Structure 1
C-alpha cells in the first residue's frame, strides 16, 4: 500500500482535521504546513499531489504513537528511513495499545480469518525463520476493520 493511502485512511478513521494532522507530524518531530497536509492527502491524479516518502510517514506514525500513548522520556524517536507493511502494522499496534486478541477482533469485523501464530509472525524480527511479510491485503483489511470500529 502507498503511504498516502494509509494516511488518508487513518485521517478518515479517526476523523482528524488539518490542525490535528499538523499536530501529529509535530509530535513526531517535523513541522508541516496545512498545504503540505493537503497535498499528502490528495489522490495521485491531482496536480498538486505530493508523494509521502517513508521517512516523513515514519515521522507521522511516531506522532500518532505519541498522540495515543503519550510522549516517552528523552528525545523524540528517530524516524525510520524505509518502511514496510510490517513496520507500519507494528506502529499502529503500538499506538492503539492492541494485544493480539484486539487485532484478531478487528479482522473479525471484516470477516477475515487469521490465526494467532500467523499474526505473531508479522511482528517477529525479519531474521527469524518464523517471520512473515505482511502483504497489502492484511494491512488493507486491518485498516478497514479499524474504520468499522472507530468511525461512527
Structure 2
C-alpha cells in the first residue's frame, strides 16, 4: 500500500502527539493558512460504503506535496526557530518533485533537522521499528537528488521510520 501525504501527516501527528491547535500553528509557520476543521478533514478518512476492499485510504481533504512540505517546513521552524536571514515574506523553496519520487527522502531530511536527530538516532529509530539500515544506506537516502550516491527512499523505510518515531516519542 502506497504511503500518501495524508497518511504521512496522520502518522506524524500521532508519533509526535501534536494537537489540532499546534497543527494549525505549524501549517501557519510553513506558510499555509488553515483552520482546526480543515486539519481534521486532512486527517479524517472518507466514509465510503461502496468499496471496502480498496487498499488506498481516501481522506475527506486530500493534501498535495506542497501542503505536506509546508507542514514539514513549519515543523522545522517550530522546533528549531526561524533561520538567520529568513524574512517573513521569504517564499519556501519546495523540494518534493512533481513525480513524488523523492517525497520520502525529503520527509526524512526535514524530520532529521526538525527533531535534531543524528544519523545514529535515525538508525536506532528504524531499528526500533524492526528495520536495520547501514550507515551508507542512510547516507545515500539523505543525499541531494542528483548526487551519484543518491538513493530513493521507499515507502517501507518512511513508514517504518514514522512507526519508530511513534515508539520513541509516545512511550
* TM-score (norm: length of structure 2): 0.82
CA contact (8 A) 1:62 1:79 kept: no
Give CA deviations for 1:61-84 in whole Å, capped at 9, x if unaligned: 111111111111322551417351
Question: Runs of 5+ in structure 1 lacking a partner?
Answer: none
Write 1 or 2 for the structure with the bigger share of helix.
1
Q: 1:37, CA displacement in angstroms? A: 0.4
CA distance in structure 1 between the partners assigned to 2:38 and 2:4 by the alignment:
17
Aligned equivalents of 1:79 and 1:30: distance in 2?
14
Please state if 1:93 is matched with 2:112: yes
Query: Counterpart of 1:67?
Result: 78
TM-score (norm 1): 0.92
Alignment of 1:2-151 (within 5 A): 2-45=4-47, 49-73=60-84, 74-75=86-87, 76=90, 78-80=92-94, 82-83=96-97, 84-151=103-170
Off by >2 Å, runs of 4+ in structure 1: 44-48
Larger radius of gyration: 2
Relative distance call for 1:77 and 1:149 in structure 2 (3 A) is farther
Asked if 1 retains the 8 angstrom alpha-carbon contact of 2:6 and 2:59, the reply is: no
The unaligned stretches of length 5 or more in structure 2 are 49-57, 98-102
